[in-house]
């Protein structure tokens, strides 16, 4: 099955003119770097469908490793740029062989299941259409001159569904020809309404909801990568970089994840560690080199390895902190959670310690630790009472087994062995989380 991606710039003159849902255009491109390179790790042929500006950015400038590029999306430049899903619809319509389209904010750490790739229709997951969808529809429906009959009952259906299309594809090409034709009809017939409705919200209905309803009407089963059915605005864990690759092999930074600082910074640091040459090309576009010029960083995997070795060779103290410290800390933190989990699983001894340069703030019952990354951007780490106890035991470096022994002393005397195991599992989760957030680190 062919793996494809699509990127439509929507008639802008420079990539800085559109955030594409991200906190800034820079993170949009960092996302594309990670998405394309992770796909290429597991699939030899990954093709890009884009327009002329998209090709100049992703191919000529960033040099992303696509096996083939189709410059075909300028044909939809008469659509408003906020109708971003129309480029995906166009791309699906061009397919003449089984395909899987992967969004540019989706990252994988494994191949997709073989059985999934044989299915007639594939999407990421089924989702419930709650009041979140219905409130969007209330602002759109009154302005529409045409509504597909499949959507006529949407308002009266209490338990409706839609398909999340972080990935979408399958072998039933006839369905995709029909679906894309209906989607274009839905959008084109309502051209007079484009300026009256929230176009970002409209995308959801002509892409995700229409897809589900057409498949249901034709009695075609959709296979899903994930069987869980979340509400349409409640996706949990899809931005947890610290859980890859052992607990999660698929992330999708949909919706608010694109503006969650801890998440997009984790993505940035991951790219900096594993794809530093690509990261430099992104910085070239936005002329953001000042920090790296000051420390003579050359954006190489070899230098990253040296920074990690320097960081982990000794317990860091405030006397040793400089600009190199922050960069090496941020790079070393990527993958540290997985390393800690492996040490715990193999019952290997290691020492935990609290990193310097973090501040604890409290306001009533709310507590947080504030960490600054190598660029000086503050990242908030909310904590609870248990977290504060864990951190209080790390004022001095401490062996992992001794830490667990001390923490279990907080339990009541009558707790069961099962309760103790659950408590230790929770502590392990918090340790790996704090390692990913640069609050703590380890030495062996």
Q: Give pLDDT tens digits along the chain (444 positions).
A: 999 999 999 989 999 999 999 999 999 999 999 999 999 999 999 999 999 999 999 999 999 999 999 999 999 999 999 999 999 999 999 999 999 999 999 999 999 999 999 999 999 999 999 888 889 999 999 999 999 999 988 876 766 899 999 999 999 999 999 999 999 999 999 999 999 999 999 999 999 999 999 999 999 999 999 999 998 878 999 999 999 998 999 999 999 999 999 999 999 999 999 999 999 999 999 999 899 999 999 999 999 999 998 887 765 555 567 788 899 999 999 999 999 999 999 999 999 999 988 888 887 788 999 999 999 999 999 999 999 999 999 989 999 999 999 999 999 988 899 999 999 999 999 999 999 999 999 988
Is the residue at 349 inside a domain? Answer: yes
Q: Identify the pLDDT of residue 296.
A: 93
208 and 102 belong to one structural domain: yes
210 and 102 belong to one structural domain: yes
Is the residue at 263 inside a domain? Answer: no
Is the residue at 373 inside a domain? Answer: yes
195 and 66 belong to one structural domain: yes
Is the residue at 76 inside a domain? Answer: yes
* The domain boundary residue, chosen from 224, 255, 275: 224
Q: Identify the pLDDT of residue 319.
A: 52
What does pTM read for this prediction? 0.94
**Burial call 289-306: b when 16+ CB within 10 Å, e when fewer:** eeebeeeebebeeebbee
Bridging pattern class, strands 121-129 and 160-170: antiparallel
Is the residue at 265 inside a domain? Answer: no
Q: Identify the pLDDT of residue 320.
A: 63
> Phi and psi of 173, rounded to 5°?
-70, -30
18 and 145 belong to one structural domain: yes
Instruction: Output the CA–CA distances (angstroms, integers) from residue 117 to 94, 172, 174, 322, 419, in the order listed.
Output: 19, 11, 17, 49, 41
Cα separation of 166 and 251, whole Å? Answer: 10
User: What own/partner pairs with CB < 8 Å and gap ≥ 24 does 360-364 have?
Assistant: none
Tokens of 234: 């409640």
Domain at 78, CATH number = 3.90.550
Q: Identify the pLDDT of residue 201.
A: 95
Q: Identify the pLDDT of residue 158.
A: 66
215 and 310 belong to one structural domain: no
Bridge-partner residues for 354, per DSSP?
Answer: 440
Cα separation of 152 and 140, whole Å? Answer: 13
Structural domain span for residue 378: 306-443
49 and 151 belong to one structural domain: yes
The count of other CB atoms within 10 Å of the CB of residue 388 is 13
33 and 158 belong to one structural domain: yes
176 and 29 belong to one structural domain: yes
Q: Identify the pLDDT of residue 358.
A: 82
Q: Identify the pLDDT of residue 154.
A: 83
- For the chain, give the number of residues: 444
127 and 28 belong to one structural domain: yes
DSSP state of 231: B
The count of other CB atoms within 10 Å of the CB of residue 133 is 23
DSSP state of 51: -
Q: How many domains does the chain have?
A: 2
Is the residue at 67 inside a domain? Answer: yes
* The domain boundary residue, chosen from 224, 244, 260: 224
* The domain boundary residue, chosen from 197, 224, 251: 224
Q: Identify the pLDDT of residue 356.
A: 86
Is the residue at 189 inside a domain? Answer: yes
């Amino acid at each position: 099955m062919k793996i494809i991606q699509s990127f439509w710039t929507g008639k802008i003159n420079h990539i800085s003119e559109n955030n594409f849902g991200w906190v800034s255009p820079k993170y949009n491109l960092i996302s594309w770097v990670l998405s394309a390179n992770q796909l290429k790790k597991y699939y030899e042929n990954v093709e890009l469908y884009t327009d002329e500006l998209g090709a100049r950015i992703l191919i000529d400038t960033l040099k992303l490793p696509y096996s083939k590029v189709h410059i075909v999306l300028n044909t939809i430049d008469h659509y408003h740029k906020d109708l971003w899903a129309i480029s995906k619809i166009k791309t699906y319509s061009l397919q003449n062989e089984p395909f899987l389209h992967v969004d540019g904010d989706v990252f994988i750490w494994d191949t997709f299941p073989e059985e999934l790739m044989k299915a007639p229709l594939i999407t990421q997951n089924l989702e419930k259409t709650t009041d979140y969808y219905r409130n969007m529809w209330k602002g759109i429906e009154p302005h529409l001159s045409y509504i597909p009959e499949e959507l006529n009952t949407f308002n009266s259906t209490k338990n409706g569904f839609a398909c999340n299309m972080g990935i979408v594809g399958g072998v039933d090409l006839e369905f995709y020809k029909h679906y894309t034709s209906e989607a274009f009809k839905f959008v084109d017939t309502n051209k007079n309404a484009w300026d009256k409705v929230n176009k970002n919200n409209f995308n959801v209905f002509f892409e995700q909801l229409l897809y589900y309803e057409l498949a249901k009407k034709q009695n075609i089963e959709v296979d899903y990568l994930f069987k869980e059915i979340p509400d349409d605005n409640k996706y949990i864990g899809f931005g947890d970089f610290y859980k890859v690759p052992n607990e999660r092999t698929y992330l999708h930074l949909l919706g608010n994840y694109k503006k969650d600082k801890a998440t997009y910074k984790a993505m940035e640091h991951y790219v900096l560690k594993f794809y530093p040459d690509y990261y430099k090309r992104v910085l070239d576009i936005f002329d953001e080199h000042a920090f790296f010029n000051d420390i003579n960083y050359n954006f190489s995997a070899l230098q990253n390895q040296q920074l990690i070795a320097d960081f982990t060779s000794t317990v860091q103290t405030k006397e040793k902190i400089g600009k190199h410290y922050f960069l090496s800390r941020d790079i070393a933190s990527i993958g540290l959670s997985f390393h800690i989990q492996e040490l715990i699983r193999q019952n290997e001894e290691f020492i935990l310690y609290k990193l310097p340069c973090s501040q604890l703030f409290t306001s009533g019952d709310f507590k947080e630790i504030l960490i600054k990354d190598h660029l000086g951007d503050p990242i908030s780490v909310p904590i609870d009472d248990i977290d504060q106890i864990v951190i209080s035991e790390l004022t001095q470096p401490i062996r992992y087994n001794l830490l667990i022994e001390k923490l279990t002393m907080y339990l009541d005397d009558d707790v069961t062995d099962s309760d103790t195991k659950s408590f230790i599992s929770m502590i392990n989760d918090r340790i790996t989380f704090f390692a990913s957030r640069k609050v703590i680190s380890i030495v062996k």
